[in-house]
Structure 1
């Protein structure tokens, strides 16, 4: 394989990880917004589903030099109370 093909293959692979990272980040943000709405409505909040996605993001981040995300705590959700 030529150097050009190797570099192209590496770039394509990196692009795939970045796309996956962004999709997971959007999914995390949607879940955070839903948790805030649930908290404000007095409903139970499921942080496990948020932090499951956060864990996936952080695994990608660690392997591919992307920024990690903080795990979400109840205090974080409560601090958004309006």
Structure 2
């Protein structure tokens, strides 16, 4: 028996995982940025400074920058240093 498959058409766009949540573009004074301590030192001075964050991680060859950049639909995005995928597999 042969079945015919059709592509579903959505009248409304599917909701993104971050949709409906409120994200903050700028941190307030003395606000701690949540980060994963397993990735090492957090260079918080590069919050929302993508170029500075990348340069610092390349220079330090360790650590992370929590909230290195921001996307309207996702919120803050972190960058972490890792030599290869094997180094990060157990985190």
Rg larger for: 2
Instruction: Select the structure that is richer in strand.
Output: 2
Taking structure 1 as the reference length, the TM-score comes to 0.29
Q: Could you say which structure has the greater relative contact order, defined with CA pairs below 8 angstroms and 6 or more residues apart?
A: 1
Instruction: Select the structure that is richer in helix.
Output: 1
